[in-house]
Structure 1
């Protein structure tokens, strides 16, 4: 982008060029007028040379030749004048475009300054801390190299300590994420959403319990899973306001069964990649407020241990729910909550 000084020099040079061309055109016009005046005093071209004084015929022929040259120069001058006019028009258009671009650049610069001024104190502090961290890392690297240069004794190998939480479990009462290790894949189970759909679907079928003792339904598929459930009618004895016993009924969920409808999720060996679904699901939850429940079949225990260790490092509580081969994930009012460690 040109600076203001460069633009001023370019505009001044261009104006000087236009002044010079204009002066040349003016001189040519004066010459044409002088020659025209002289030519107007001459006899007509078709007059007989014999009537003219001796030697004057040659001068007359020379003047006619020069007159033709002047006419040619006049045509060229007019062409140059038209070219100058066109150049001036182009210059005016470029100047208009330059002014518009300069205004746009000024607006963009103002917007950038406004955005920069809107940076929060937290962002500035974060930037400062990042600089301090980089400087500390650089200093630590210098000290390490200096220590290596001064010491002839190799340091003892550093032992890595792995710390596991105390094996005490508590029921999961906060936010809970569910995953399943099945057929060599780690899949996310949208259990909360399926249970909400179960409640909505069950409300539409409760009236049928007036005629039959139990009703079944299915919701989904959602996220590769379908949820089947059974509602039952329970007859209960109640007391009215007078203390007399009356018969009543209530609706109860007997159980639900989670059925996979496709092999979803990521391969077990890629479950801890930054782009995996496992990592993406964890990113939206706070470790100190979230419990991760992992439903695992016997062939996935090794993968479970890797996931458990990673989750503990991130600060999550982990609940393991082992399942026998061929046994689906089920739940009921009489079941137990996930116990997290």
Structure 2
């Protein structure tokens, strides 16, 4: 019984060991299965990741190629833009040059047009003047026919005596006759004012000086005087003397027109009557500076002065030239 118990114990222990070994083997098998399954999953994941990376690389290569192509295309566009900008600048310069040429051409065209308009205007004026002359000619022919048909009337002519001219040495009054306006020219008073002004300004210095005096009775005088010391001979002796000489003199009114109408002068109580009052006709000469537009009035004025006993001296002046004097001038010749 004891032997039976011992054997049973050994068998029980052997069975337990076998159970343990069997359990361990089963665990190992399970672990191997799990490890194999896990290894397969890891291999699949690695393979999947490898496939994803290859796709990404392929896509990256594609994008890189597209980027390179885009960069090259951008560079080409930049070059084209630079060429277009250069061409645009050149076209703008050409446009500016063409605008300048257009402005010059337009100005020339306007000048030619204005010249043409002026010629047309002159032509119209000439045609109008010709028509007026033709009309006047017809009128004159009609008057001539009437005169030839009528008896010639007796015409009485009035004339002024024309005595021999003589140089003026007495008192001389100056008048100006322009635009049929008569005005007094205060020559003597202006010369006296020039003398005083020159003595005040020269202050003992030699040389030439120009100045202006007036206004006196509406006239001013611009003058130029010279003062210099020079050697002179007197009685066989030579000495130094101061010479003062009038170089030039211009007398003008302050404004134009200036004076009193001649027709009003003949009506009495005029400025001419004031100037002639108390003067002796035998020793007074009237000098009249006259312009071409007043020659007819000069004739009437000379008749008026002749009736009052005054001799007159006419000094014709061209239009636009003022009354002037110089050391080489001549004295008036009265009639």
TM-score, with length taken from structure 1? 0.48
Instruction: Output the TM-score relative to the length of structure 2.
Output: 0.49
Q: In terms of Rg, which structure is larger?
A: 2
